A and B are shown apart, each in its own frame.
Chain A
Amino acid sequence: MPPEAASNGITTASLDNELREAVEKLMAASDQAVKQQCLALIQELLDRKAALLRAPFSEKVRRIKEAA
């Protein structure tokens, strides 16, 4: 299963773009509340990307188990 299929069309590339934007916003931010929002968003994006990276491998394992 391609990563997009496991994540409703969200790809690692689109998450990378979101991450880049969030980091840029964080680095440009002076307001503490905005910084906190950016930090939370970055953490969420990192978690989502980690899950997306794992998805195709987990799917392969599931298929191998099914075949066995």
Chain B
Amino acid sequence: MADLKASSRAITNLLGTRSNILDGFIVVAKLTVLAGTGIIGAARIANSPGVVTYIAVGVVLVAGIFTLIAERSASTTLAEARTAMDIALEQEADAQNVLRKLEAAEKAYNAELDRLSHFQVARDLVRAILEGIATSSSIFEENAVIELILTQARRQLYLAFGFEMSDFYTICVYERVIDPDTGDTVLKCRANKRAIDCDIGKATVWKEGIGAAGSALASGQEVVVPDLSDPALGSLYKLPEKKTDDDVNYRSIVAEPIGMDGKEKLGGALVVTSSRPGHFSVRNRDYVNVAQSLAGMLALTVKLVRAKRGVTLVASHS
């Protein structure tokens, strides 16, 4: 912007100073030509070309040449002014471009600030709940506490995960249990928040090693699936029995094991999904980190609740 102002000032000065001086000289020169022509004309009428006539011819000649030069100089000045104006316009366009980028950066910064502040208060809420559990003489039911966390921090988590109105999202907390019929280790949904709430009993039960949730449980490692429809994935994390909208609703997934003391003591898994492909990504871990942190807080919650009940953090029978 400073360059633009300097250019504008330069153009103004250039046009102002040079045109004023030149205009003055050109007017004088033209008047001289006029006067000389008049004298020559008068001498011709009088038919007595004398010294004055010859001087007038000389002056007219010099003034004519000067006028030619001065007008050429004025054209040059105009061309220079146009060039300067073009440069100024280019600089103005550049400045506008930079301004637009700055505005976009400010918007992104504010959005990120908003997201992180909401995530921070969600963590503050969990901390307050943990303190409440720790200092209370009451015994709490872990599913109720997890439900309380998800319900009370729903809006903050929604913002922290970067979800938008058009997204279909789910935040599900699964508990590791032993299926009494088969003896298999499975993940059962204990609390969830979704774009469209549904009966928790209808949530998919994941076998250990199946799907993103089951894989996270089996490996004890985080599983990030940026796009479930990526042909490179094949059927690795896909459900054998799909519902109609599953392909659209569950495009991007992060599954975090819930546990603090290694695979043997995993209590379950946190699974967060989005209908937006690439929402969860390994390269940009903004939202994955939120899931990881939330899983850590849930693990701490479960551990504290169970410790108060005198139950260890291992799979229970459903």
Residues 122-145 of B at the A interface (beta carbon under 8 Å): 122, 124-125, 128-129, 131-133, 135-136, 138, 140
Which of A20, A49, A50 has most chain B Cβ within 10 Å?
A: A50
**In the complex, are the beta carbons of B138 and A61 less than 8 A apart?**
no
Which of B131, B132, B133 has most chain A Cβ within 10 Å?
A: B132
User: Is B235 an interface position by the 8 A CB rule?
Assistant: no
Residues of B near A54 (CB, < 8 A) are 113-114, 117
**In the complex, are the beta carbons of B152 and A19 less than 8 A apart?**
no
**In the complex, are the beta carbons of B124 and A49 less than 8 A apart?**
yes
Residue of B nearest to A53 (CB): B117
User: Is A43 an interface position by the 8 A CB rule?
Assistant: yes
Q: How far is the CA of A19 from the CA of B121 in the complex (A)?
A: 10
Question: Given A46-B156, A50-B118, A50-B156, A27 and B110 touching (CB < 8 A)?
Answer: no
**In the complex, are the beta carbons of B113 and A57 less than 8 A apart?**
yes
Residues 4-57 of A at the B interface (beta carbon under 8 Å): 16, 19-20, 22-24, 26-28, 39, 42-43, 46-47, 49-51, 53-54, 57
In the complex, how many residues of chain B place their beta carbon closer than 8 angstroms to a beta carbon of chain A? Answer: 27
| Interface of A, helix, strand, loop or mixed by DSSP | helix
**In the complex, are the beta carbons of A16 and B136 less than 8 A apart?**
no
Task: Count how many pairs of residues, one from A and one from B, have CB atoms less than 8 Å apart in the complex.
Answer: 65
Q: How far is the CA of A43 from the CA of B124 in the complex (A)?
A: 12
User: Is B164 an interface position by the 8 A CB rule?
Assistant: no
User: Is B109 an interface position by the 8 A CB rule?
Assistant: yes
B239-260: CB near A (< 8 Å → 1, else 0) gives 0000000000000000000000
Q: How far is the CA of A57 from the CA of B115 in the complex (A)?
A: 13
Residues of A near B117 (CB, < 8 A) are 50-51, 53-54
**In the complex, are the beta carbons of B125 and A19 less than 8 A apart?**
yes
B150-182: CB near A (< 8 Å → 1, else 0) gives 011101100000000000000000000000000
Which of B106, B114, B125 interacts with A42 by CB under 8 Å? B125
Sample 13 A-B pairs with CB under 8 A, ordered by A number: A19-B125, A20-B131, A23-B132, A24-B135, A27-B132, A27-B138, A27-B140, A28-B138, A39-B152, A42-B125, A46-B122, A50-B121, A51-B117
Using a CB–CB cutoff of 8 Å, the interface residues on chain A facing chain B are: 16, 19-20, 22-24, 26-28, 39, 42-43, 46-47, 49-51, 53-54, 57-58, 61, 65
- Seed contacts A46-B121, A50-B121, A53-B121; 19 additional CB < 8 Å A-B pairs: A22-B128, A23-B125, A23-B128, A23-B129, A24-B132, A27-B129, A27-B132, A27-B138, A42-B152, A46-B122, A46-B153, A50-B117, A50-B156, A53-B120, A54-B113, A57-B113, A58-B110, A58-B113, A65-B106
